[in-house]
Structure 1
Amino acid sequence: MNCASLTHHAIFDGITADEIEAMLPCLEAHTRMYDKGEAILRAGDEVRHLGLVLEGSVNIVATYYWGASDIFVHVAPGQIFGEAYAVSPQQKMLVDAVAAQPTAVLFLNAEKLLTVCGRSCAQHHRLIQNLVRISALKNLALSRRIMHTAAKTIRGRVMSYLSEQAIEHRSNSFAIPFSRQELANYLGVDRSALSAELSRMRRNGLIAFHKNHFELL
């Protein structure tokens, strides 16, 4: 494990490589590789470990009894997932965590993470603070999705999402992390209807796009 590279991830912010190396065995840390489309966690699982995406990315997906599915969150490299369930082990997963591309995940035992050892080391307290901060930011991300899907029309949902992306990138030209089908799932709309609306918005001079790159006009 390259502990120096872990210092760049938010969960280990403010913790040195040597401190991380000393902590990992205590946290029962282990790494796994996943192929694109492979399930990392499934609905119904009882989760003990939170996941840190080292490479690739992960989609958090709700799959319904009748086969339809929606993407709720896209987890990029350096971000964590499953922590809400890992710190509440009696709660079974309601969603799937699926590798969006070939992905490497570092798993950390949540109970060990939240239990400070007898030495009460400063880096462990910092780790807990980082987890709380990250969880708060993720709650904001879920709130943004609720905001995007609150619009009654497809155009309203698209404009809400693209406006947020422009603010996040500080530019009117940016790439989004979704394929067209993934964007449709995220916004809770039909893919064909989404593609048709994007084409209308381009004809109306509102946007320009090529694949997942958009420009707001």
Structure 2
Amino acid sequence: MNEHLLENSTLFKGLSSSEVRAILEETPHHVQCYDKGETIFHLMDEAARIGIVLEGCVQAQKSFANGSQVNVTSRFPGQMLGPAAAFSEDRVYPCDVIALQPSTIMMFQREDMLRMMQKNLRVLQNFTTEISSSTYLLQQRLELFSYNGIAQRAAFWLLTQSRKTGHLTVAIPESVTRWAMLMNVSRPSLHRELRRMETEGLIRYTPHRIEIISPDGLEALLDT
């Protein structure tokens, strides 16, 4: 097991490897592997389990009667699955969670997770921070999805990150592929729009970061 990953996971951040090991020794859990395309949580199933992604990438997907689909959020190694649903009043998963690639998940039962938080203040703080951050990010994504154009979504995301950090240079989240997943667009389409925005003098695009050349130009995109 990758103890370094667990030390830096959203749930165990700030704890040493020995502390994480001690917590896991006294907390029932199991590790489960999923094939690409396999469903981890089903829509409206009882939200009895909470997971931590150890390997791979999974995605929460919401399908609608008209055949459309929204990729609600993606989760990568170290991030949690289903915490809000498990502790909600309804206690059901609000969407399907699918493995986008072969994935390994550490699973906890809701009651065991609750006991873990009762015993360790750091785990409780990390869990609360995760729920709060997820709620805030969901609000941002709802605003992001209000823009239909890929360039508009890219402009909104870049301006949001720039305001958050106070810098005009914005780091791409690991890769353009992951960034495209976050914005619910295809990688080729995003890459094409970024190159067009660069040609228009709005940004300077490099493999790992984007420099905002014209914040006003990006703001103008949002009004089109």
Using a 3 Å threshold, how does the CA distance of structure 1 residues 47 and 83 change in structure 2: closer, same or farther? same
Q: Which amino acid aligns with 1:29?
A: H
Q: Which amino acid aligns with 1:108?
A: F
- Spell out, residue by residue over 1:145-200, the C-alpha distance to the aligned partner (whole angstroms, 9 max, x if none): 123233465543231023335567866364345649x83x7556799987875565
Indicate yes or no: 2:88 matched with 1:125. no
Cα distance in 1 for residues equivalent to 2:116 and 2:177:
42
The answer to whether the Cα contact below 8 Å between 1:47 and 1:89 also exists between their aligned partners in 2 is no
Of residues 150, 157, 172, the one that matches 2:169 is 172
Per mean C-alpha deviation after superposition, the further-off stretch among 84-93 and 44-53 is 84-93
The answer to whether the Cα contact below 8 Å between 2:49 and 2:110 also exists between their aligned partners in 1 is yes
Per mean C-alpha deviation after superposition, the further-off stretch among 204-213 and 65-74 is 204-213
Using a 3 Å threshold, how does the CA distance of structure 1 residues 54 and 22 change in structure 2: closer, same or farther? same
**Which structure 2 residues correspond to residues 95-106 of structure 1 after superposition, within 5 A?**
95-106=95-106
Divergent runs of 4+, >6 A = 188-196, 210-213
Using a 3 Å threshold, how does the CA distance of structure 1 residues 160 and 23 change in structure 2: closer, same or farther? same
- State the partner residue of 1:21: 21
Using a 3 Å threshold, how does the CA distance of structure 1 residues 16 and 157 change in structure 2: closer, same or farther? closer
The answer to whether the Cα contact below 8 Å between 1:10 and 1:130 also exists between their aligned partners in 2 is yes
Post-superposition offset of 1:31 = 0.9
Q: Which amino acid aligns with 2:48?
A: R
Cα distance in 1 for residues equivalent to 2:209 and 2:98:
23
Post-superposition offset of 1:113 = 1.9
3-state SS in 2 of match to 1:24? helix
Using a 3 Å threshold, how does the CA distance of structure 1 residues 22 and 94 change in structure 2: closer, same or farther? same
Using a 3 Å threshold, how does the CA distance of structure 1 residues 199 and 126 change in structure 2: closer, same or farther? closer
- Spell out, residue by residue over 1:86-139, the C-alpha distance to the aligned partner (whole angstroms, 9 max, x if none): 22374322211122222221112222221369xx74xx2321221111111111
Indicate yes or no: 2:158 matched with 1:162. yes
Could you state the TM-score of these two structures normalised by the residue count of structure 2?
0.73
Cα distance in 1 for residues equivalent to 2:153 and 2:46:
34
Indicate yes or no: 2:142 matched with 1:140. no
The answer to whether the Cα contact below 8 Å between 1:4 and 1:17 also exists between their aligned partners in 2 is yes
3-state SS in 1 of match to 2:11? helix
Cα distance in 1 for residues equivalent to 2:96 and 2:20:
29
- State the partner residue of 1:54: 54
* Percentage of matched positions with identical amino acids: 27
Gapped runs of 5+ residues in structure 2?
214-224
Using a 3 Å threshold, how does the CA distance of structure 1 residues 12 and 196 change in structure 2: closer, same or farther? closer
| RMSD of aligned residue pairs (Cα, Å) | 3.5
3-state SS in 1 of match to 2:97? strand
The answer to whether the Cα contact below 8 Å between 2:161 and 2:170 also exists between their aligned partners in 1 is no
Cα distance in 2 for residues equivalent to 1:48 and 1:25:
21
Could you state the TM-score of these two structures normalised by the residue count of structure 1?
0.75
Gapped runs of 5+ residues in structure 1?
none
